[in-house]
Structure 1
Amino acid sequence: MYSSVKLCFLPLMAAIAMKACRLSSQDLHIFYLYVEKNFTSLTIFSISLILGWTLYIMNRPKPVYLVDFSCYLPPSHLRISVPKIMRHVRVIREQGMWAKTGEHDYLMDFVEKILERSGLGQETHIPEGLHCLPLEQTMAGSRKETTDVILGAVDNVLRNTGVSPSDIGILVVNSSTFNPTPSLATIIVNKYKLRDNIKSLNLGGMGCSAGVIAIDVAKSLLQVHRNTYALVVSTENITQNLYLGNNKSMLVTNCLFRVGGAAILLSNISKDRKRAKYKLAHTVRVHTGSDDRSYGCATQEDDEDGLVGVSLSKDLPMVAARTLKINIATLGPLVLPMREKLRFFVTFVKKKFINPKIKHYMPDFKLAFEHFCIHAGGRALIDELEKNLNLSTLNVEASRMTLHRFGNTSSSSIWYELAYTEAKGRMKKGDRIWQIALGSGFKCNSSVWVALRNVKPSANNPWEDCLHKYPVEIDV
């Protein structure tokens, strides 16, 4: 810090020295008298200048670097195809585990159609307890699923980075519907013997967009706690959340959600810039939960038979579109080139004061980003964002392939997408990445990263065993 202060004053000192060489003894005497007369004022000014510069250096936001991340790859014995799922469902209904067995057989056709049109492939994964017959939806089974996912991802990221668990000062874990006691964060603290003064947080009930929320929380903590690492873990639990009722809107989640999770290691240590993959540029969070329709569009509740599931409201598409627009309006000025900002502003003025029927101008975000990681929440969601943001097939390839290979892994899906982009060798130095996720509440959250180098996939990238198959054609 002090060397920086000296460097700032170096040109001034050089100029003074050169000028002094040409001064006469009389000039020097006059200068001496001036300094003597104004010594107090000059001292106060100098001290204020140095103090101000010191405070700026100490309080300016520290850059946040993404050193590395890891996505959990479930073992091959947990894979399941659509035909196997349907056979499994029929056996479960015959065994009487499904509500009102023998009734509403049309629901089987409904589930099969959703699965066939979902965009999911034949090699997604479900947890061990749901492979069993009868099903094992126990607390022990749920703990095993989440522990395997979390520890598998964390083990890999620590191994790849060489960071000691004792160097981690911040821990943020998010899981929406599974939040046991002790917490998931405590499981990690216990497993890796993290230090006693760890700043740990466990985020629950925040939906599929919680992965970005966790990054934003870790960023805020890294601005306060200097020279440390933050470990962010994003996951969801399937074992405890399989819905066994007959409500169509609740059955959809069974068809989409699959096993997955990610661990992300962040740093605010200056020397880590040399080895980090990305620098965090922006996070934008939008929460429209004050509106009743937003609040109720995705709710975990009892169905008419008292079975718990996540109910999706008919207002969901409208709420998602509105929340997305707010997020874009906030993010746009931070990332778009000037000409796009001007076009947006001119259109806004015309619509406001001249012709209200003029369509809103959608900025071209392809001018701001090279890569897009859209939450793989479902085929319809990806289609809608591709259309609304005027993206190309290549722009949404990572999202579609993630949905196909891993299904909807909730808050971790954006990391499988980033891993796909790395595995394809497309991430170049200076490339900008937009991760965007939507979730219950209703929330739309964005994180923007900048690649610090040509990024290669880390060891045990989840795509390394199947990358040669992708991209694949998705049937309409």
Structure 2
Amino acid sequence: MTVYVRSLETAVPATKLIQAEARDVFAAQPGLSRLGSRLVATCFDSAAIETRFTAVDELTNAFRSDDPQFYDPDSGLLLNPSTKVRNDIFAREATKLFVEASAAAVKACPDLNLLDITHLVTVSCTGFFNPGPDYKIVRELGLDPSVQRYHLGFMGCYAAFPALRAAKLFCEADPDAVVLVVCAELCSLHVRTSNDPDTIMGSALFADGAAAAIVTANPAAEETALLQLDHFETVLTPVGEDSMAWNIGDHGFEMVLGNYVPHIIDDHIVGALQPLLAREPGLQALPYTGIRHWAIHPGGRSILDKVQARLGLTDEQLIPAREVLRNYGNMSSATVLFVLRHILGQDSEPGDERICSMAFGPGLTVETALLTKLRQAPPAARNPAETRQQELLQEFPVA
């Protein structure tokens, strides 16, 4: 049974961070050591990021508050709110992104009735609340109250793949299933000033964003579908358990992103791809000429560099990943869906176009997917860098 992605839409908060400005704020913090100051400059400048988006309005100098919690622009000090303060903001602001991305994905399927959606899969690793985002989407969009809801929490940057794989399984088990998959992450909630290299790297890389897709196996969907979901695989590398992690601290979530991660990926990426590419003859040997598009999760510039060099990919094939990194940063689980949306927006050539996609996360886990691009996506419902898509929020208001 063939399973299709009918729509794939993205959303970001309204507040844009300029990388150079954020660097100067972090570099000016009084508690930094001389080495810490150098690390801030190096990490921010070498990240290959120009802009990012955040749900924390006060992280910009233009915002003024009588009771700042994250950043005081008058003193230039980064503050250190508790995990509860950060999570309370997540519950409020993540709901907006979950609903906005979901509404955009539904609107991109004009023949779809909201009551047709049978399953809902939500994804996030940057906060918790209950009733959770799955409940909020059902209520705010007006989905059938009996829709089957599943939340994948705290998996990390690769979690979009388990979500899409679950959607594929639901559709294969029930030909009438229509699955809404939504990833939303507010990584910027957990930034802080520190001399710790992992914390500095996280502050230089991570951002906020959301993406949503409609997945179905209905044969009629082939006429308008954007993607075909072919195969998924999961591989744990033999080393790296301590090199990438995401833990809960008293002042937000704490990231471990060791500088050895790109080397682990360099050593094991070819082996991690083999179970996926072995599914189809002709795709198993370098330089993988049967695959035109590569949707790589841009965990960081050095990770993309290692993947490109090891797999022999062209600069053109890495444009989607590098463009997303430059314009949006690393939005954890939502990021690879932004990369896929970029690929779908490129001009299509006659015939099917294969896509190999991959993301990396704690473990060290490598999630891979083999997809088929069926047609070029229509222009995005909005340019996330410019507007909050007010018409969707008016149609699906958030309480």
TM-score, structure 2 normalization: 0.83
Which residue of 2 is the match for residue 66 of structure 1? 5
Aligned residues: 366
Out of 120, 141, 146, the residue aligned to residue 94 of structure 2 is 146
Q: 1:115 to 1:313 in 2, by over 3 A?
A: closer
Which residue of 2 is the match for residue 27 of structure 1? none
Q: Are the aligned partners of 2:192 and 2:203 in contact in 1 as well (CA < 8 Å)? A: yes
Larger Rg: 1
Structure with the larger helix share: 1
Which residue of 1 is the match for residue 77 of structure 2? none
Distance 2:386 2:55 in 1: 22
Distance 2:47 2:335 in 1: 15
Flag the structure with more relative contact order, 1 or 2, with Cα contacts below 8 A and sequence separation at least 6.
2
Structure with the larger strand share: 2
Distance 1:249 1:207 in 2: 16
Kindly report which structure 2 residues correspond to 1:64-143, keeping only aligned pairs within 5 A, or say none.
64-75=3-14, 78-89=15-26, 93=29, 101-121=30-50, 123-131=51-59, 134-136=68-70, 138=85, 139-143=87-91
Comparing 321-330 and 147-156, the one that deviates more? 321-330
Deviations 1:207-249 (A, max 9, x none): 1011111101111122222312101111212243113332112
Q: Are the aligned partners of 2:126 and 2:187 in contact in 1 as well (CA < 8 Å)? A: no
Q: 1:208 to 1:428 in 2, by over 3 A?
A: farther
Which residue of 2 is the match for residue 297 of structure 1? 243
Kindly report which structure 2 residues correspond to 1:46-445, keeping only aligned pairs within 5 A, or say none.
62-75=1-14, 78-89=15-26, 93=29, 101-121=30-50, 123-131=51-59, 134-136=68-70, 138=85, 139-162=87-110, 163-288=112-237, 293-301=239-247, 308-313=253-258, 315-321=260-266, 323-337=268-282, 341=284, 363-365=286-288, 367-426=289-348, 428-445=350-367
Q: Are the aligned partners of 1:423 and 1:463 in contact in 2 as well (CA < 8 Å)? A: no
Distance 2:236 2:184 in 1: 21
TM-score, structure 1 normalization: 0.71
Distance 1:181 1:427 in 2: 45
Distance 2:109 2:338 in 1: 18
Q: What letter corresponds to residue 325 of structure 1 in structure 2?
A: V
How far does residue 329 in structure 1 lie from its aligned partner after superposition? 1.5
Distance 1:302 1:437 in 2: 22
Distance 1:278 1:308 in 2: 34
Distance 1:307 1:202 in 2: 21
Comparing 151-160 and 324-333, the one that deviates more? 324-333
How far does residue 174 in structure 1 lie from its aligned partner after superposition? 1.1
Q: 1:302 to 1:69 in 2, by over 3 A?
A: closer
Q: Are the aligned partners of 2:99 and 2:141 in contact in 1 as well (CA < 8 Å)? A: no
Distance 2:38 2:252 in 1: 21
Aligned-residue Cα RMSD (Å) equals: 2.6
How far does residue 301 in structure 1 lie from its aligned partner after superposition? 4.1
Q: 1:198 to 1:435 in 2, by over 3 A?
A: same
Q: 1:183 to 1:323 in 2, by over 3 A?
A: farther
Deviations 1:141-188 (A, max 9, x none): 222331222122111111121222211111111112312222221221
* Secondary structure of the corresponding residue to residue 396 of structure 1: helix
How far does residue 63 in structure 1 lie from its aligned partner after superposition? 1.5
How far does residue 90 in structure 1 lie from its aligned partner after superposition? 5.9
How far does residue 426 in structure 1 lie from its aligned partner after superposition? 4.1
Distance 1:323 1:403 in 2: 23
Deviations 1:97-122 (A, max 9, x none): xxxx445244233112211110001x
Distance 1:408 1:170 in 2: 27
Q: 1:333 to 1:453 in 2, by over 3 A?
A: same
Q: 1:302 to 1:107 in 2, by over 3 A?
A: farther
Q: Are the aligned partners of 1:364 and 1:389 in contact in 2 as well (CA < 8 Å)? A: yes
Distance 1:308 1:199 in 2: 29
Distance 1:241 1:204 in 2: 16
How far does residue 323 in structure 1 lie from its aligned partner after superposition? 4.8
* Secondary structure of the corresponding residue to residue 320 of structure 1: helix
Q: Report sequence identity in percent.
A: 20
How far does residue 280 in structure 1 lie from its aligned partner after superposition? 1.1
* Secondary structure of the corresponding residue to residue 295 of structure 1: coil
How far does residue 439 in structure 1 lie from its aligned partner after superposition? 0.9
Deviations 1:288-338 (A, max 9, x none): 5xx6x43322123478x987521223553344345533321112222351x
> Structure 2: which 5+ runs fail to align?
71-80, 388-399
Q: 1:394 to 1:194 in 2, by over 3 A?
A: same
